[in-house]
Structure 1
Amino acid sequence: MSIIPSFFGGRRSNVFDPFSLDVWDPFKDFPLVTSSASEFGKETAAFVNTHIDWKETPQAHVFKADLPGLKKEEVKVELEEGKVLQISGERNKEKEEKNDKWHRVERSSGKFLRRFRLPENAKVDEVKAAMANGVVTVTVPKVEIKKPEVKAIDISG
């Protein structure tokens, strides 16, 4: 328990704590800020925190998304118009009890959405997705580019 009271309230920050990385938000409880604006901020936080790697191998494009704490039922992998890979889902906010006292809230909640335009060499009919240990792996095979057949011609003379 702190001997210095928190005049700015809230459960997220304490401006008097030199070790706190949280920043006081002067507009947090401002009456003109609508709930949709605060929801947008939460969704943006979840969106920003969804880290995805995209690598290209000789056989495929491989996407890996870190989604800790989510079940595969909470994640969607979709193709839009056969050209855009979309990975989306939602992290639900933890239920608050009356007697709970939060000291820090750093895990984001809300919806997230990431979209990637696939290159022309993607085989969109053979896309596969798997999830293990909080990581979604989407594999998009590539069309094999056939090298033109070269025929050697003998030179006479």
Structure 2
Amino acid sequence: MSNLTRWNPVSDFEEMMDRYNRFFGLSRSQGAGESKDLFRRSDWAPAVDIKESKDGFTIDAELPGMTRDDVKVTVHDGVLTIEGERKQEEETKDKKHHRIERFYGSFLRRFTLPDNVDEGSVKASFKNGVLSLELKKSEPREPKAIEVKVE
């Protein structure tokens, strides 16, 4: 069985322009001509795996070529945020790039946490380009009843 991929020169050109604009800190306007595909290949965001056990959740994010100093993890109001930047190596005069497929630049991933997660329990570790976050479960918060007086 043969796998064929149809070449789309317009898509390649858009990807090249996105990389150029990101490299110089420019952003493309979200006009009518913008691609409607929300998961375009040129959008840089690390892939994650989210696993649940009886005691908590584990989030593993792939961040090859990065260090723990390149990544920031925060939890605020039930939202876990992973953000960082992968910097492109300096170009030298004696090298000519034939193809660049790795993604560079800033990224931001946000996850809404379930009510049964203890926000203060988040532990992070970084090994071999994988950021691992452990979140412990807590007892779900019971709704608080407020007595209303009618006058």
Do these two structures clear the TM 0.5 threshold for a shared fold by scoring above it?
A: yes
Compared CA separation, residues 26 and 51, structure 1 to 2 (3 A): closer
Q: Which runs of 5+ in 1 are unaligned?
A: 1-18, 39-43, 146-157
2:13 to 4, 15, 25: 25
- The alignment status of 1:117 with 2:112, answered yes or no, reads yes
1:144 and 1:51 map into 2 onto residues whose CA distance is 29
Q: What is the CA RMSD across the aligned residues, in angstroms?
A: 2.9
> Which amino acid in structure 1 is aligned with residue 13 of structure 2?
D
* Bigger Rg over Cα: 1
Compared CA separation, residues 126 and 27, structure 1 to 2 (3 A): closer
**Counterpart for residue 10 of structure 1:** none
What is the Cα deviation at residue 137 of structure 1? 0.7
2:71 to 56, 71, 75: 75
**TM-score, normalisation: structure 1:** 0.64
2:8 and 2:111 map into 1 onto residues whose CA distance is 32
Compared CA separation, residues 131 and 104, structure 1 to 2 (3 A): same
2:58 and 2:14 map into 1 onto residues whose CA distance is 43
**TM-score, normalisation: structure 2:** 0.67
- The alignment status of 1:56 with 2:52, answered yes or no, reads yes
**Counterpart for residue 44 of structure 2:** 46
Deviation digits for residues 80-132 of structure 1 (CA, Å, limit 9, x no counterpart): 22x00001110001211123211111111001110000000001111111111
SS in 1 for 2:43: helix
> Which amino acid in structure 1 is aligned with residue 75 of structure 2?
L
2:125 and 2:63 map into 1 onto residues whose CA distance is 12
SS in 2 for 1:73: helix
Aligned length: 116
Fraction of identical pairs, as percent: 36
> Which amino acid in structure 2 is aligned with residue 45 of structure 1?
D
1:84 to 79, 83, 87: 79
1:84 and 1:93 map into 2 onto residues whose CA distance is 29
1:65 and 1:26 map into 2 onto residues whose CA distance is 27
Q: Which runs of 5+ in 2 are unaligned?
A: 29-41, 141-151
- The alignment status of 1:104 with 2:115, answered yes or no, reads no
Deviation digits for residues 16-40 of structure 1 (CA, Å, limit 9, x no counterpart): xxx9x784417967xxx895126xx
